[in-house]
Amino acid sequence: MPFTTRRRRLDGMGLPRRVATITLHTSPLDQPGTGDAGGLNVYVAEVSRRLAAAGVEIEIFTRATSSELPPIVEMAPGVLVRHVPAGPYEGLGRDELPGQLCTFSGAVLEAEAHHEPGWYDLVHSHYWLSGQVGSLARMRWGVPLVHSAHTLAKVKNAALADGDKPEPDSRVLGEEQVVADSDLLVANTPAEARQLIDLYGADADRVATVAPGVDLGRFRPGDQRVARRRFGLPEDGTVLLFVGRIQPLKAPDILVRAAAELVSLYPALRSSLTVVVCGGASGNGMGEPAALRRLAAALDVTDLVRFLDPLPPDELSRLYRAADVTVVPSHNESFGLVAVESQACGTPVVAAAVGGLRTAVADGVSGVLVDSHDPRDYARVLGRLIAEPRYRATLGRGGVRHAARFSWQRTADGLLDGYRAAMRQRRGDLTPV
C-alpha cells in the first residue's frame, strides 16, 4: 500500500524520510485501558500522526492478534500499521512473546528487503521486546536505533504491589542489551533518565528527556452536569474516578478501600458518593475485574462502585469532566497520561508520589501527591477535597494550566530533535545528544 501523503526528501533538514516504528506487544489501533493497551498505544498513535504531518513517513510494525486483520492499515496519512503474524493470534500472554521474537524479527527484515536499500532511515522501538527487534534491524540496516522503554523491570521490581509477580531476569537482561545497543534512549521524565543511567549504565550523552503530551483540543474543561447526565451519574453527588487497566500495578483496589474508609469516617457520604472504575482486565486474563468486585462486596461498598468498560477518547474526556477527582494510586508510572488528561479537563488528581507522576502532577497546584499506598492516607486527602469545594476548584484551574505544558506536538518536536542527533551520531559526528 503506497503512502497517500506527498513524498518529501528531508535529508537537507537532517530528518529521516521514513521511520520503522516497532511496537511488538500492542498496537496503536487497540483500545487503551484493557489487555496490554494503555498509554504506550496513545503515545505511538499521537506522535506518529504528528511526525507524518512534518513529512516523516511512519511504518509501524505490531504483532497480528486476529486472522481478520488486514496485513496493512493506513492509520493516518503517512502512517502505516503492518500486522505481523507471529505465534497464535489470540491467548498469547506478554510473558510468552519472547518466544516469537525470531519470527517477528524475520518479518520486519523481510519487509525492508522488498524495497531498495536504505528504505528506512531510522528505527524507533517501544518497550524492551520491540527493542530486541530494533537492535537486530539496526545492525542489518546500518541505521540508528532510538528506543523508548516506557517501563523498566528494575524499577517495577523495586515497587511491587501485593500479589504482583516480579519481572523475570530475562527481561532485565534484555533491557540491558537494548540500552547498550541504542543510539538514543528517550525518557519520559528526568527521573526515568536518571534510572536509565544509574540502574542500566546508560551513557548520559545518549539519553534525551521528551515528555509525553495530551490532546488539548479534546481534553479540555466542560460542563460537569452535562457530562454526568451522559453517564447517568448523580448531578449533585461526589464522583471519584479511576481510569486504567485493572491490575495490581495500577492499584484500583486502593481507591475502593479508600472509599470504604471514607464512608466509615463520614457515614453521611454513603448517600452521595460514587466511585467509577473505567477499564478492563490486563493482559489476556479476566480475573482482576472480578477480584475488584469481590473486594467491593467484602468492604460493603458495592452500592458505591460502578464499573465502565474502556472508552474512546471523546467519551473519556466527558468522563473526566463528570468526576470531582481522578485517583491514580499506581505503584509505578513512567509518566501518568491519565493524570494529565484529567487535569486538562479541569479535574484535579490525587496520585501516588512515584515515578513520572511527580512530573505529571504538580503537588498542591494541580492535585495532591500521596507519599504512600495506604488507603487511609488517600481517604484523608479525598475527604479534604470533598469537604472543601473551593480548594478543589483551585486545583482544577491549576490542573488546566499545568496540563497546558504538555502537548503531543511538543513531544513530536522533541523526537525530531532526537532523530536528528541520532542520525548525526550514526554518521560519525560524536556531538552529544
Structural domains of the chain, with CATH: 18-213+408-425 (3.40.50.2000), 224-404 (3.40.50.2000)
Predicted pLDDT of residue 178: 97
321 assigned to a ligand binding site: yes
Residue pair 166/160 in contact by the 8 Å Cβ criterion: yes
142 assigned to a ligand binding site: no
Of 9-23, 77-91, 276-290, 307-321, give the range with the top mean pLDDT. Answer: 307-321
217 assigned to a ligand binding site: no
Predicted pLDDT of residue 4: 34
Predicted pLDDT of residue 259: 98
Which neighbouring-strand residues pair with 276? 241, 306
Segment among 33-42, 177-186, 245-254 with least mean pLDDT? 33-42
37 assigned to a ligand binding site: yes
333 assigned to a ligand binding site: yes
- Helix ranges (DSSP H) in 33-152: 39-53, 101-113, 128-141
For helices 337-344 and 39-53, angle between their N-to-C axes, nearest 10 degrees: 70
pLDDT bucket at 416, cuts 50 / 70 / 90: very high
Show Cβ contacts of residue 248 under 8 Å, excluding neighbours closer than 6 positions.
Answer: 160, 161, 162, 163, 164, 288, 331
pLDDT (tens digit per residue) in 353-405: 999 999 999 999 999 999 999 999 999 999 999 999 999 999 999 999 999 99
pLDDT bucket at 159, cuts 50 / 70 / 90: confident
41 assigned to a ligand binding site: yes
Predicted pLDDT of residue 75: 96
What element of type H or E holds 410? helix 408-426
- For CA atoms 89, 152, 209, 200, the dihedral sign is negative
Show Cβ contacts of residue 328 under 8 Å, excluding neighbours closer than 6 positions.
Answer: 242, 244, 336, 338, 339, 349, 350, 351, 352, 357, 361
- Helix ranges (DSSP H) in 36-189: 39-53, 101-113, 128-141, 153-157, 169-181
38 assigned to a ligand binding site: yes
Predicted pLDDT of residue 283: 56
Residue in this structure with the C-alpha cell 467484602, named with its chain if needed: 298
171 assigned to a ligand binding site: yes
Distance CA 258, CA 270 (A): 13
pLDDT (tens digit per residue) in 20-54: 999 998 889 888 766 777 789 999 999 999 999 99
Segment among 9-23, 198-212, 309-323, 383-397 with least mean pLDDT? 9-23
Residue 27, classified by CB atoms within 10 Å of its CB into exposed (0-12), middle (13-18) or buried (19+), is buried
pTM of the model: 0.90
Tell me what the mean pLDDT of segment 76-104 comes to: 89
When the pLDDT of each residue in the chain is averaged and rounded to a whole number, the result is 91
404 assigned to a ligand binding site: no
Tell me what the mean pLDDT of segment 84-99 comes to: 84
- Comparing 226 with 290, which gets the higher pLDDT? 226
Distance CA 7, CA 299 (A): 60
Predicted pLDDT of residue 26: 87
257 assigned to a ligand binding site: no
Predicted pLDDT of residue 13: 57
Neighbouring CB atoms inside 10 A of 93's CB total 11
160 assigned to a ligand binding site: no
Dihedral of the CA atoms 174, 178, 181, 183 (nearest 10)?
180
422 assigned to a ligand binding site: no
pLDDT bucket at 89, cuts 50 / 70 / 90: confident
The three-class DSSP label of residue 207 is strand
Segment among 3-7, 30-34, 290-294 with least mean pLDDT? 3-7
157 assigned to a ligand binding site: no
280 assigned to a ligand binding site: no
Predicted pLDDT of residue 287: 53
For helices 337-344 and 389-403, angle between their N-to-C axes, nearest 10 degrees: 110
Show Cβ contacts of residue 203 under 8 Å, excluding neighbours closer than 6 positions.
Answer: none
306 assigned to a ligand binding site: no
